[in-house]
Amino acid sequence: MKSLIKGVVAGLALSVALSGIASAQTIRMGTEGAYPPYNFINDSGQVDGFERELGDELCKRAGLTCEWVTNEWDSIIPNLVSGNYDTIIAGMSITEERDKVIDFTQDYFPPSPSLFVALSGGSADLKGGVIAAQT
C-alpha cells in the first residue's frame, strides 16, 4: 500500500506541475459525492468517505491543499477535460473507452463484481426483479 500511495503522490505531483498550478499549491479534486462508502456528501454538506480521506492524504504528502469539487457522474470526465478540476477521485473503473480520453494511475481499490439479494425465508426469487449496474 505504501508503494501505491508513493506512486499516486508522484502522479499527482506530476499532474500539478504539468497543469501549471504548482505555484498555487491547490489541487481541485473532482468527485461525484454519491457513491458511499467511497464518496458521499455528509450531514455537514461536505464530501466524505474513503476517497476523501485518500485524496486528503495524497495532498498532505505532496504538500498541496485539496479543494473538493462535486459533479454529476455523466459529466465527470468532460469536466476534467475542460479544466473544471485537476484530477478525478471517484471510484471509476478503468475502461478502454475512458483510457482513450484521460490518464489513470494504478487502481487503488480493485473492482469486484457483486450481486446482492434480499433474504426472505431463505430463498431468493429474482423473477421480475430489477437489475441495475454502474461501471
Q: For 75-133, how does the pLDDT look when each residue is reduced to its tens digit (9 = 90+)?
A: 999 999 999 999 999 988 888 999 999 999 888 887 777 776 666 665 566 677 777 77
Domain annotation covers residue 125: no
Q: Is residue 15 part of a domain?
A: yes
**86, 57, 91, 54: which is closest to 69 by C-alpha?**
86
| Cα(36)–Cα(26) distance, integer angstroms | 25
* Residue 34 located in a structural domain: yes
Number of domains the chain is built from: 1
Whether 129 is in a domain gets the answer: no
DSSP state of 45: S
Q: What is the pTM of this model?
A: 0.69
Placement of cell 473507452 in the chain: 97
- Residue-wise pLDDT for 44-65, tens only, equals 999 999 999 999 999 999 999 9
Domain span at residue 61 reads 2-99
Which CATH number goes with the domain that contains 16?
Answer: 3.40.190.10
